[in-house]
Chain A
Amino acid sequence: MQRYSLNVLMAAIAVVLLVLAQYRIIDGYIQATLMYVGINIIMSTSLNLVNGNMGEFTCGHAAYMCVGAYISSVLSVFCFGNKLGAPLLPADMAVVVFPIIILIGGFLASLVAILVAVPSFKTRDDYLAIITIAVNYIVISAIENMDFVGGSRGFQGMKDTVWAMKGTLNAPWMLFWVMLFTAFNVWVIRRFITSTFGKGVNAICQDEVAAEIMSVNTNKIKTVNFMLSAGLAGCAGGLFAHIVGYVNPQSFNILKSTEAMVMVYLGGMGSLSGAVISAVVFTFLMEVLRSQPLMDFLLAPATFVFPDWEPSAGVIKWIIIPLLLVLIMQFRPEGILGNRELSDVFPKLKKFYTFK
Chain B
Amino acid sequence: MDFLIQNILNALQWGSFYALIALGYTLVYGVLRLINFAHGDIFMVGAYIAFGISGVLLGPSIGLSPLWTFVVAVPLTMALTACVGVTLERIAYRPLRRKGAHRLYVVITALMCGFILEYSNLAVLGAERLKFPELIQKSIWHMGDVTITNLKVIVIVAAIAVFVLLNFIVTKTKIGMAMRGISYDKFAIPLMGIPIDFIIVFTFVLGSAFAGLAGLLYAMSYPILEPFMGMLIGWKAFIAAVVGGIGDIKGAFVGGFLLGFIEVGVVAMPGLESTYRDLFAFSILLIILWVKPTGLFGMPQSTKI
**Residues of chain A having any CB pair with chain B under 8 Å:** 57, 115, 118-119, 122-124, 126-127, 129-131, 133-135, 137-138, 140-142, 144-145, 152, 209, 254, 258, 261-262, 265, 269, 309, 311-312, 315-316, 318-319, 321-323, 325-326, 329-330, 333
In the bound assembly, the distance between CA atoms of A115 and B118 in angstroms comes to 31
Our pick among A145, A262, A330 for the contact of B276 (Cβ within 8 Å) is: A145
Residues facing A in B231-258 (CB within 8 A) are: 231, 235, 238-239, 242, 246
Please measure, in the bound complex, the distance between the C-alpha atom of A315 and the C-alpha atom of B295, giving whole angstroms.
37
CA A48 to CA B99, docked complex, whole Å: 24
The list of the 8 closest CB pairs from A to B, nearest first, reads A322-B112, A141-B279, A141-B278, A322-B115, A318-B119, A134-B282, A123-B293, A122-B293
Q: Are A326 and B305 in contact (CB under 8 A)?
A: no
Partner of A126 from the list B35, B92, B286 (CB cut-off 8 Å) is B35
> Which B-chain residue is minimally distant from A143 (CB atoms)?
B279
Give the shortest distance, in Å, between A218 (CB) and chain B (any CB): 13
Q: Which residue of B lies closest to A51 (CB)?
A: B104
Which of B105, B118, B120 has the most chain A CB within a 10 Å cutoff? B105
Q: Which residues of A contact B275 (CB under 8 A)?
A: 141, 144-145, 152
Decide: B242 and A130 in contact? CB cutoff 8 A.
yes
- 1/0 per residue B86-129: CB within 8 Å of A? 00000010011001011011111101110110111011100000
Among A57, A135, A315, A321, which residue has its beta carbon within 8 angstroms of that of B123? Answer: A315
Whether the pair A330, B96 counts as a contact (CB closer than 8 A) is: yes
Give the total of B residues in contact with A, Cβ under 8 Å: 48
CA distance A177 to B206 in the complex (A): 53
CA distance A322 to B115 in the complex (A): 7
Instruction: For B301, list chain A residues within 8 Å (CB).
Output: 124
A24: min CB distance to chain B, Å: 37
Which A-chain residue is minimally distant from B35 (CB atoms)?
Answer: A126
- The minimal Cβ–Cβ distance linking A200 to chain B, given in whole angstroms, is 18
Residue in A209, A258, A261, A333 with the greatest tally of chain B CB atoms within 10 Å:
A333
Residues A319 and B123 in contact, CB atoms below 8 Å apart: yes
Cβ-defined contact, B115 with A318, below 8 A: yes
A318 to B95, CA, bound (A): 23
Q: How far is the CA of A133 from the CA of B237 in the complex (A)?
A: 13
Kindly state whether residue B283 has any CB partner on chain A within 8 Å: yes
Residue on A with the closest CB to B298? A127
Q: Is the CB of B119 within 8 A of A315?
A: yes
Docked CA distance A330–B91 (Å): 10
Which chain B residues border A319 with CB–CB below 8 Å? 115-116, 119-120, 123
> A124 vs B123: C-alpha distance in the bound complex, in angstroms?
38
Residues in B with CB closer than 8 Å to A141 are 275-276, 278-279, 282
Chain A residues positioned under 8 Å from B105 (CB to CB): 265, 329, 333
Bound form: Cα–Cα A325–B295 in Å: 32
With contacts A57-B104, A134-B239 taken as known, whether A209 is within 8 angstroms of B290 at the C-beta atoms is: no
- Min CB distance, A210 to chain B, in Å? 8
Q: How far is the CA of A41 from the CA of B276 in the complex (A)?
A: 34
B185 within 8 A of A: no
Contacts of B99 in A (CB 8 A): 333
- Contacts A/B (CB < 8 Å), 16 sampled: A133-B239, A134-B285, A137-B235, A138-B278, A138-B282, A144-B275, A209-B303, A254-B231, A265-B108, A269-B104, A309-B124, A315-B119, A315-B123, A322-B119, A329-B108, A330-B96
B273 sits at the interface (CB 8 A): yes
| A52 smallest CB distance to B (angstroms) | 10
B283 CB contacts on chain A under 8 angstroms: 134, 138
Asked whether, in the complex, the Cβ of A145 is within 8 Å of the Cβ of B279, the reply is yes
Interface string of B289-305 (1 = CB under 8 A from A): 11001110000010101
Which B residues lie within 8 Å of A137 (CB)? Answer: 235, 278, 282
